[in-house]
């Protein structure tokens, strides 16, 4: 008999990514593969959100950003949009006591103007109730796209310039980064995409400039804590050079 026990994935706890961002893809394909409605995939996806948040928190990861709903997702069939909004809001409301217990702080980034009032109210309540959390910061990107975010930042910087509050020649990388919705957190070190597609889908385009990218064929509903550890261990085997030579970073 072969030993079917998966060897534990050893991680260097001193070199964990400070910020992990995840494109949670494959809910629909997971559901279709089992002859279920797409919405069943999203329901199962929420279960994965819970276990991956727990694992990230247990490992001591600083920030976990999840792409829960993109600007482009507004163009999906209305019933799926409504179901997703409802699912996200009810899950967040239900999980709030556990988030507080585990010192998790929730933040939301995205275009609030397009979100249903009821969803916004529930998310805002959880953000307020978890604001004292000093452990993992869980960031939900909802009604989010990088192009929306960068355009919004450009608009605000232009308004400051027009008002004479900033000199256009003094605009730097930091000015742009400081006006993004994500200004409160460091850039992701590791970007994970489930579902096998090799693309970044308008997610954190500015912020992933030097992120390590990890794509797995596993659909999001099947993604396990051991898969997260595998992605982190892959990240730990890479040499991050930030544009320098291998010799320079040694
Ligand atoms: C992509 O799968 C997934 C989404 C558009 C939604 C992800 C949302 C959740 C997992 C729920 C999040 C809940 C909380 C509480 C944050 P897809 O439908 O595009 O899958 P496909 O590529 O197989 O069609």
75 has catalytic annotation: no
Nearest to 235 by CA among 65, 64, 20: 20
Nearest to 178 by CA among 213, 142, 154: 154
Q: Total structural domains in the chain?
A: 1
Residue 155 lies in a domain: yes
Residue 2 lies in a domain: no
Predicted TM-score (pTM) of the model is: 0.94
Q: Name the residue at shortest CA distance from atom 11 of ligand 1.
A: 46
Residue 191 lies in a domain: yes
Residue 211 lies in a domain: yes
25 has catalytic annotation: yes
The DSSP secondary-structure symbol of 36 reads: -
Residue 85: how many other CB atoms lie within 10 Å = 21
Distance 23 CA to ligand 1 centre (A): 9
State the sign of the Cα–Cα–Cα–Cα dihedral 216, 28, 95, 112.
Answer: positive
**Cβ(52)–Cβ(232) below 8 Å:** no
Q: How long a stretch of residues is the chain?
A: 250
CATH number at residue 82: 3.40.1180.10
Structural domain boundaries, residue 74: 19-237
Ligand 1 atom nearest to 140, measured from its CA = 16
Ligand 1 atom nearest to 95, measured from its CA = 15
pLDDT digit of tens for each residue in the chain (250 aa)?
Answer: 343 445 578 999 999 999 999 999 999 999 999 999 999 999 999 999 999 999 999 999 999 999 999 999 999 999 999 999 999 999 999 999 999 999 999 999 999 999 999 999 999 999 999 999 999 999 999 999 999 999 999 999 999 999 999 999 999 999 999 999 999 999 999 999 999 999 999 999 999 999 999 999 999 999 999 999 999 999 999 987 888 888 888 7
């Amino acid at each position: 008999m072969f030993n079917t026990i998966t060897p534990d994935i050893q991680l260097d706890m001193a070199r964990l990514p400070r910020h992990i961002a995840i494109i949670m893809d494959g809910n629909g394909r997971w559901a279709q593969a089992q002859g279920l409605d797409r919405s069943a995939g999203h329901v199962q996806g929420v279960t994965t959100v819970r276990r991956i948040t727990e694992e990230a928190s247990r490992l001591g990861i600083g920030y976990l950003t999840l792409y829960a709903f993109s600007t482009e997702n507004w163009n999906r069939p209305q019933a799926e949009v409504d179901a997703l909004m409802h699912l996200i809001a009810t899950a967040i409301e239900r999980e709030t006591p556990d988030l507080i217990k585990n010192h998790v702080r929730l933040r939301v980034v995205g275009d609030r103007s397009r979100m249903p009032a009821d969803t916004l109210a529930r998310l805002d309540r959880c953000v307020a109730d978890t604001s004292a959390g000093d452990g993992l910061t869980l960031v939900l990107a909802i009604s989010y796209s990088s192009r929306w975010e960068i355009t919004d930042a450009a608009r605000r910087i232009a308004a400051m310039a027009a008002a004479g509050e900033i000199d256009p020649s003094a605009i730097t990388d930091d000015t742009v980064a400081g006006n993004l919705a994500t200004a409160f957190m460091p850039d992701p070190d590791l970007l994970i995409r489930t579902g096998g597609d090799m693309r970044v889908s308008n997610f954190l385009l500015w912020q992933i400039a030097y992120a390590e990218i990890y794509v797995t064929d596993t659909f999001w509903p099947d993604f396990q804590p051991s898969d997260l550890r595998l992605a982190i261990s892959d990240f730990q085997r890479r040499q991050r050079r930030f544009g320098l030579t291998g010799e320079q970073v040694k």
